[in-house]
Homo-oligomer: A and B are copies of this chain.
């Protein structure tokens, strides 16, 4: 039985990035679907679950990608709804639109090398975006106290409510990061800052960062200049700068790629997996 990966991508062109990773992770046949709409998913999933014996369904799997994370979540939900697990008729599925799950996992794994996350106070800048929300969620599960930063505190509050429903013991706080003063207040006493905002926006000026004496680790997930955390180079990887450990997007990228490949390979181990943020993070932990 050949290993078939069905790539469901909402973009006009299916991601070359995701498909190359799938090839290198061992998928033998990749069905790349672009422009996927949630209402098309049922027929695609039925094509996956009705064509092989249930014992062979571990060799068919689904990857949900695309640049729009919200659409990816809708596609995931439609796919799970179309499966018939009662009859053993389901296939494993990995969600990673825009690399959100693999990037968030790699960022938290980087922080974990230098900090005891249970005793960490973290600020996540761009905490309401797809990557940011997943960083918050993973840090909260690890027991960290997490501030969710956004220019619009209302949005940050909505994200806190959503994550509290997923992570019962989460210790979250919504903070406004609109001005330098807000930002300095939000960062005060924090030991970790992660910038997960949109590409090309400086979320944390150098002077504000240096003024925060307790800060130990700064991780910037934006590779496009200007970077998200001023003074961090994209290639920084556990680099010491100004008495902090810093990571740039490319510094985190190697781990992200390893997790991405391992998650695709994991899909073919059984037909009953749904790999979202926590499961992808777990795969990253097991790589050590």
Contact = CB atoms under 8 A, between A and B. Distances in A.
Interface of A: 1-2, 4, 6, 12-21, 23-24, 29-33, 35-36, 40, 43-48, 50-52, 60, 253, 257
A16 B44 contact: yes
B257 A17 contact: no
A1 B24 contact: yes
A6 to B, nearest CB: 6
A24 B43 contact: no
Nearest to A35: B12
B32 A16 contact: no
11 contacts: A4-B20, A13-B33, A13-B36, A13-B44, A14-B31, A16-B48, A17-B47, A18-B47, A20-B52, A20-B60, A50-B253
B43 A31 contact: no
A80 to B, nearest CB: 16
Nearest to A257: B51
Contacts of A45: 16
A198 to B, nearest CB: 15
Given A16-B48, A17-B51, A20-B52, 6 more contacts: A6-B16, A14-B33, A17-B46, A19-B31, A20-B48, A24-B51
A21 B1 CA distance: 11
A13 B75 CA distance: 14
| A-B CB proximity, top 7 nearest | A16-B47, A17-B47, A20-B51, A16-B44, A13-B40, A23-B29, A13-B33
A47 B98 CA distance: 12
Contacts of A35: 12
A82 B52 CA distance: 34
Nearest to A67: B43
Nearest to A18: B47
A20 B31 CA distance: 9
A20 B50 CA distance: 10
Contacts of A29: 23, 30
A12 B44 CA distance: 11
